Amino acid sequence: MMGVADSAPNLRDPSRTRVRRNAVWNLIGQGLPLALAVLLVPRLIHGMGTELFGALTLIWAFLNYFSLFDLGLGRALTQLIAESAEEDKKNEEDLISKAFTLSTMLSLIGLFLLFFSAPFLVLKALKLQGALATEMLWSLRALACGLPVLIYGVMCRAILEGKRHFNLSNVTKIPLGISTYLIPLLVIPFSRNLFVIVGWLLAARILILVWAFAQVRKMMPHVTWRFNWKPSPNQRKLLRFGKSITVSYVVTPFTDNADRFLVTSMLSISMLAYYTTPLELTNKFSIVSLGIAGVIFPEFAARFLRSPKETASLYLRGMKYILAALFPPVLLVTAYAHEGLSVWLGPKFADAGSPVIQWLALAALISGFRLIPYFFLVGIGRPHIAARYDFFELPIYAGVLYVLIKTLGLQGAAIAAVLRVTVGGLLYHFLSGRLLEFRSSTFMKTLLPLALATIILLGFHLAMVPLLKAILVFGILALHVYFVWVLVLEMDDKNFILKRLGRPVHS
């Protein structure tokens, strides 16, 4: 593969400042809920018990999945608004009216399907019984009725992010994340009914939607917000993009949550808590990867046709920065998994959950690596490439997951997650590299740091005396900081850090 040089050029333009600023907003928007989750999850488990808390984690999974029932229209809207000329107000209005018309249709269809499929999901798929089954049934039906609210929220955030207003987008995400953990804690002293908790979660989302919609209207007063059924090129663009990404948006949430369902059905809903608690924690590492990849996504859409070399530079920087930022927390979680869980949730939880969280932390690191090529493919209007893989991934992953859970239990589910993100990440990176015309040396250089990080993390699965472990962790982190400063950060990034620290900047 020929074309792009091994090292990305040092581009100095205002967009780099915008990307850095938006990445900081994304980190804040997802980091605050993570900090709250660390504090509140032990109290939730203590107050609810492992069975009810396991059911709540399923509700969280359904909330995430139902918000993706727009079938890719949100991501399409972000991409097309980012591509649209700033002064083309008429095109923006047509895009938004078409997107909201189509999302209304999809939400109503989804409402009907999900409402009447709830008994199958609860009784057959999850195999729940008794009072908990009844609560879960009506909780899912409540979520189905709230589907339009969830999808309209996605549309509002898509508009804000397409216009690069990540500050406003994250102001909506922060209360969403906080309410996810805080509302159940506030409700359980008065009611331990899952349906009541879900009702309050939906009420919070309605209030957040009203605020987000007000911000979009204030930012775009020229948009009339009416249903628009008249065919137009924008409608065809949305449908074409949405159709290509529909497979990913339908299949991927099933793939993402297959481990929860199989653990519940093959083991028990009580055992699910020992898996989903480490999973929820390691999933929060995505605050780093999404914080970087999320702001780069509209930049891919805006730059690729105009400047492929600039896009390649942005792609490489994104991958370097995600790996550089994710490795230290992943290393600490892997090295001190048992000690950390013992302090956080108790020795019993640590015995069952520490091997799980070690594998899931590695999966989170590789998943962050995989995000940049995935967002690149979608951002340049090639979502069908990723969709084809996603379609075949689900049955293969489900089969591997079933075998590993049957043989290794909870740890097998975590190992399956590592295998899944590794294969997908390598494939996405290879396909993206071909489109960006990377040299073979560039392609391999991006993989070597990830391979080295993986070997180091696997080494900490072995039992070590505390002193040796502490020395190794300190030494590895010191080397990591040195190599990131010397090899990863570019001059303007170093100057940005030095300026914040009050140190003299380099010329």
Share of the chain above pLDDT 90, in %: 25
**485 with 433, same domain?**
no
Over residues 406-410, the mean pLDDT reads 91
**Taking the alpha carbons of 156, 159, 162, 167 in that order, is the dihedral positive or negative?**
negative
**479 with 353, same domain?**
no
Is 4 inside a domain boundary? no
Torsion of CA 249, 58, 323, 394, to 10 degrees: -40
**450 with 492, same domain?**
no
Name residues whose C-beta falls within 8 Å of residue 441's C-beta, 6 or more positions apart in sequence: 6
- 441, pLDDT greater than 50: yes
* Alpha carbon 54 to its chain's center: 21
**431 with 475, same domain?**
no
Is 53 inside a domain boundary? yes
What pLDDT does residue 361 have?
94
- Coil, strand or helix at 480: helix
Scanning the structure block, which residue is given the tokens 């999901």? 121
DSSP state of 69: T
Which range among 218-232, 246-260, 384-398 has the greatest average pLDDT?
Answer: 384-398
| H helical segments located in 228-285 | 233-266, 269-283
For residue 343, name the pLDDT band (cuts at 50, 70, 90).
confident
- Coil, strand or helix at 286: helix
**483 with 392, same domain?**
no
Query: Rounded distance, CA 46 to CA 341, Å?
Result: 14
Over residues 341-356, the mean pLDDT reads 87
Is 7 inside a domain boundary? no
What pLDDT does residue 344 have?
82
What pLDDT does residue 408 have?
92
Over residues 336-362, the mean pLDDT reads 89
Over residues 122-131, the mean pLDDT reads 84
What pLDDT does residue 135 have?
93
Sequence letter at residue 120: F
Q: Which of left, alpha, beta for 437 (phi over 0: left; psi -120 to 50: alpha)?
A: left
- 285, pLDDT greater than 60: yes
DSSP state of 376: H
**80 with 41, same domain?**
yes
The parent domain of residue 484 ranges over 468-499
**110 with 43, same domain?**
yes
* Alpha carbon 454 to its chain's center: 21
**311 with 453, same domain?**
yes
DSSP state of 346: -
- 302, pLDDT greater than 50: yes
**483 with 393, same domain?**
no
**445 with 476, same domain?**
no
What pLDDT does residue 412 have?
93
Is 294 inside a domain boundary? yes
Q: What share of the chain is helix, strand, coil (3-state, %, to 5)?
A: 85, 0, 15
What pLDDT does residue 4 have?
39
What pLDDT does residue 86 have?
57
- 13, pLDDT greater than 50: no
For residue 103, name the pLDDT band (cuts at 50, 70, 90).
confident
Token pair of 117, please? Answer: 């499929």
What pLDDT does residue 27 have?
65
Give the residue among 323, 334, 348, 209 at the shortest CA–CA distance from 273. 348
Distances (CA, A) of 200 to 59, 87, 152, 285: 13, 41, 18, 27
Residue 292, H or E segment? helix 286-303
pLDDT, tens digit (0-9, with 9 covering 90-100), for 59-83: 888 887 766 666 667 777 777 777 6
| Residue environment code for 430-444, b if the CB has 16+ CB neighbours within 10 A, otherwise e | ebbbebbebeeebbe
Is 132 inside a domain boundary? yes
Tally the domains of the chain: 2
- 43, pLDDT greater than 60: yes
Share of the chain above pLDDT 70, in %: 83
- Range from 341-350, 395-404, 405-414, 469-478 carrying the lowest mean pLDDT: 341-350
**477 with 368, same domain?**
no
**339 with 445, same domain?**
yes
pLDDT, tens digit (0-9, with 9 covering 90-100), for 16-29: 555 666 666 666 66
Q: Are 379 and 304 in contact (CB under 8 A)?
A: yes
Token pair of 213, please? Answer: 């919609």
Token pair of 299, please? Answer: 């930049």
Over residues 170-184, the mean pLDDT reads 86
What pLDDT does residue 489 have?
75
Q: What is the number of helices (H) and of strands (E) in the chain?
A: 18, 0
Query: Rounded distance, CA 345 to CA 401, Å?
Result: 26
DSSP state of 4: B
Is 11 inside a domain boundary? no
Sequence letter at residue 294: G
Sequence letter at residue 349: F
DSSP state of 382: -
- Range from 185-194, 222-231, 251-260 carrying the lowest mean pLDDT: 222-231
Is 507 inside a domain boundary? no
- Coil, strand or helix at 438: strand
What pLDDT does residue 9 have?
38
Scanning the structure block, which residue is given the tokens 């072995």? 462
- 450, pLDDT greater than 70: yes
- Range from 7-16, 262-271, 394-403 carrying the lowest mean pLDDT: 7-16
Higher pLDDT, 276 or 64: 276
What pLDDT does residue 73 have?
73
What pLDDT does residue 5 have?
38
Is 160 inside a domain boundary? yes
